[in-house]
Amino acid sequence: MPSAGPHPELSPDEFAAAVAAVTTAFGDPTRRDIYLFVRARETGATAAEVADGFALHPNVARHHLEKLAGGGYLDVELARHESAGRPSKRYRAAATDSLLAFPPRRDDLMATSRSTRRARSPRRSASSTGARSRRAWSRPRGTDR
């Protein structure tokens, strides 16, 4: 099937992996808000700034920022201090938002997604369930057939 745009063909496994990556990074509403917060600031943000802005513990803010950075949505810049201690990290929106252009709008991806979902969820047809129910209620009491 020819490609419907600039996106390469994705196998069902690649599609599932891409969906998992996006939902891991943006599945949490706080994390989505943190991404938008960092993206809106020209200079980016540190974990302490995010913690203050969202009333979070700095370790929780750092966790969200690291998840976004690990997914490639934020770039990390180390800022060395003249004093002793760990260098602080400044997080900025990644230079390219091409990762956020996912999923490409293509009918073959929707068909793959639907067929995979159908294959994973066993369903009984309404007619077979209804027929079984009618047979059970129409049997005389005391029969085990």
Kindly report the average pLDDT of the chain as a whole number.
75
* Residues spanned by the domain of 90: 12-121
Number of structural domains, the chain?
Answer: 1
In a domain, 141, yes or no: no
Query: What's the pTM?
Result: 0.57
In a domain, 49, yes or no: yes
Give me the mean pLDDT over the 31-48 stretch. Answer: 93
The enclosing domain of 99 has a CATH number of: 1.10.10.10
Whole-angstrom distance, CA of residue 106 vs CA of residue 14:
15
In degrees and rounded to multiples of 5, residue 73 shows phi and psi of -90, -20
| 69 three-state secondary structure | helix
Retrieve residue 63's tokens.
Answer: 């966790």
Residue pointed to by tokens 């513990």: 57
Per-residue model confidence as pLDDT tens digits over 82-137 = 777 777 899 999 887 544 555 444 444 455 555 555 555 555 555 555 555 556 55
Q: Does the pLDDT value for residue 16 go beyond 80?
A: yes
Q: Do 75 and 90 meet the contact criterion of CB atoms below 8 Å apart?
A: no
pLDDT score, position 3: 47
Give me the mean pLDDT over the 44-70 stretch. Answer: 94
